[in-house]
Amino acid sequence: MSDFQNDLRNYVESAVRPITAEEAMGSGLVTYGRDRSARRGWVIALAAAAVVAAVVGASFFVNQAPDQEVPIGTTATTIEPDPPPNSTAPPTTEPTSPSTTPAAVAIPVADLFDGEGPRDALVSGFVLWDDASARLCDSLLKSLPAQCGGLALVIADPENIDVTLFDETPLRVAQGVSWTPGPVELEGRFDGNRFIVGGPDAVAPTEEDLAMIEAFVALAGSPSADTAAAVPFAADVALGLGPNIVKTVGVDTIGEANAWILEADIFRAYTGPFSALDLVEEPLVMTIGAHPHCVSPPVAPPAGFETHRRVSIQPESVDSCLMWWTVDFFVDVNGEVGAVTLDLYEP
């Protein structure tokens, strides 16, 4: 025990005077069998322990004072020490936002037929070229010659394709059909029906287109064998309403007005009969490829003419779609008109 604690004990012992039970509680106190000397020792020991605890506790709190105060009712958080002046820790930087410009990714042919309509696109597929047209196919069937598997897209201007297409081996060229040995990527414009590789100029009207339309306008105004001869018709010409072929006419009778009459009770809510010759009048506008159906999406070509080039004429201006019409010519690779269709806007 330290000198301080001895002195403190001596002081406590000198200050305590034993008292009798009668002095503390009066005559009614019941005395138990413990003697006075034992009670005195217990009191002295308790007092000394209390004093020692007070001194030791005060010394602990003095030496362990906190560096910071946390307000009552708050949660203390860990405080990181400041880095030393010569610290080599890398500086903290804000994260760099990733680029929002996606890389161009080629899409399959089937994705163009999702209902979104004409647009620019990078398309992946197999190119197959035959005597009639060039097509971009989703896949190729294992046949000889090759055939398109799945959906196929007509290439409007195959002369602008820059791919390895022709291979002189028998496995790559058969019966006038050529195809690429693997998938290729083509960038161009989907017009709702065909794929244009060379840009707008690749499908601009040609001099032959203009001459054909001028000759047809003359035929409409004065049907005859002579005016029909100026139009480059095929040997047999299919005539139709919208996407449906109604009849086929031989080139020897195509100059007769009656040959153009299409019998139909109702078409686009109009009653027949119908004739493309009856509607054609100037001024006109000419379009190449698929075109809007007035304010609606393009109409598909007739079955069997999907690979033909489409040249169309419509009125230059109309007050409403009820006055709108179109005559579409489907031209093969030889420049001959194989089909002519009339279409109206349904009220």
Give me the CATH number covering residue 214.
3.10.450
How far, in Å, are 63, 92, 206, 312 from residue 197 at the CA level? 85, 50, 17, 20
Statement to judge: residues 42 and 162 lie in one domain: no
Statement to judge: residues 194 and 230 lie in one domain: no
CA distance 301 to 330: 8
75 domain residue, yes or no: no
Statement to judge: residues 244 and 148 lie in one domain: no
Q: Name the residue range of residue 167's domain.
A: 107-199
With both helix axes pointing from N to C terminus, report the angle between 36-63 and 3-15 in degrees, rounded to the nearest 10: 140
65 domain residue, yes or no: no
Contacts for 281 with CB less than 8 Å, ≥ 6 apart: 315
155 domain residue, yes or no: yes
Statement to judge: residues 275 and 319 lie in one domain: yes
Give me the helices (H) in the chain, please.
Answer: 3-15, 21-25, 36-63, 207-221, 225-229, 276-279
Q: What is the mean pLDDT of each run of 10 residues along the chain (347 residues)?
A: 54 48 38 43 50 47 38 33 43 44 76 84 89 83 85 83 62 71 89 80 84 96 97 98 96 97 93 93 87 84 87 91 94 94 92
Statement to judge: residues 185 and 230 lie in one domain: no
Is 330:233 a contact under the CB 8 Å cutoff? no
CA distance 242 to 262: 12
- The predicted pLDDT at position 170 comes to 54
- The predicted pLDDT at position 160 comes to 81
- The predicted pLDDT at position 36 comes to 45
Closest by CA position to 242, among listed 211, 216, 281, 270: 270
pTM value surpassing 0.85: no
Statement to judge: residues 2 and 40 lie in one domain: yes
- The predicted pLDDT at position 276 comes to 95
Statement to judge: residues 246 and 155 lie in one domain: no
- The predicted pLDDT at position 315 comes to 93
Q: How many domains does the chain have?
A: 3
Cα angle 97, 102, 107; round to 5 = 160
- The predicted pLDDT at position 259 comes to 97
- The predicted pLDDT at position 50 comes to 52
Closest by CA position to 243, among listed 316, 321, 315, 330: 330
Tokens of 237: 């010409």
Q: 242 in helix, strand or coil?
A: coil
Determine the residue type at 16.
V
Instruction: Among 199, 215, 246, identify where a domain stops.
Output: 199
Tokens of 106: 């080629």
CA distance 127 to 129: 7
Statement to judge: residues 215 and 255 lie in one domain: yes
Residue carrying the six token digits 């880095």: 83
